[in-house]
Structure 1
Amino acid sequence: MTHLNLPKKVKISDNVLFQQINNECVLLDMDSEQYFGLNDVGARIWQILSEDGDTEKALLQLLAEYETDETTLRTDFVNLLTELGNEKLIVIEN
């Protein structure tokens, strides 16, 4: 099985504010003054990553919480991290 590579760690940017609203969350980039929305799974990923940024640990925790296969979750996780990194909401550490 081919695995998409997750970065080992990510760090949430210091200039991002996070607000949970029900099962979703809103991120505010204080530098660009842009808002970003995350669905319930994206919000859960953000919460887990805010603890210590360990992506493999987050993946295992998400697999335990959601009924999905690892390949699908890993693909979605990598795509979200890429998007958050492109928007400078997180810093990807390798």
Structure 2
Amino acid sequence: MMLPVAKPDVIYQSLSEGAVLFSASDEVYFGLNEVAARVWEALPATATWDELYAAVAAHYPGVDPEKLRSDIHQLIDDLLAQKLLLPPTAD
């Protein structure tokens, strides 16, 4: 299954302990912790959920894989709900 993609107008700004996302068109400001920022950064380089999990898990080897998967899914759901991501397109 393909991943959602960032809306073209979303601005990403890395911070010392995470990042922020801003969409002027939707007037949405969203803070990301370090792990969530890593997920956002990995989205363009990954095409599938498994690739995304692997990319993020490589930075957090001590984290339970099921907990990480659950947290990533929750984050993606939140970003979709805030209209910061676009749903995947069917090919």
Contact 1:16 1:30 in 2 (8 A): yes
Contact map agreement 1:19 1:27 (CA 8 A) in 2: yes
Q: Distance in 2 between matches of 1:27 and 1:53?
A: 21
TM-score in terms of structure 2 length? 0.85
Query: Percentage identity across aligned positions?
Result: 28
Contiguous gaps of at least 5 residues in structure 1: 1-6
Under a length normalisation based on structure 1, what TM-score does the superposition of the two structures give? 0.83
User: Do structure 1's residue 83 and structure 2's residue 88 form an aligned pair?
Assistant: no
Q: CA deviation at 1:52?
A: 4.2
2 CA distance for matches of 1:53 and 1:59? 11
Q: Is contact 2:46–2:52 with CA below 8 Å preserved after alignment? A: no
Count residues with an aligned counterpart: 88
2:13 to 9, 14, 19: 19
- The DSSP-based 3-state class of the residue aligned with 1:9 is coil
Q: Which amino acid aligns with 1:73?
A: L
Per the alignment, do residues 22 and 53 of structure 1 end up closer, same or farther by CA in structure 2, a change over 3 Å counting?
Answer: farther
Could you tell me how far 1:53 is from its partner in structure 2? 4.7
Q: Secondary structure at the match of 1:26?
A: strand
Q: Structure 2 residue aligned with 1:59, among 53, 63, 67?
A: 53
Matched with 2:24 is 30
Q: Where in structure 1 do 4 or more consecutive aligned residues deviate above 2 Å? A: 50-55
Where in structure 2 are there 5+ consecutive unaligned residues? none
Please tell me the root mean square deviation across aligned C-alpha atoms, in Å: 1.6
Inter-partner Cα distance in structure 1 for 2:46 and 2:6: 10
Cα deviation, residue 50, structure 1: 2.8
Structure 1 distance, partners of 2:14, 2:46, is: 19
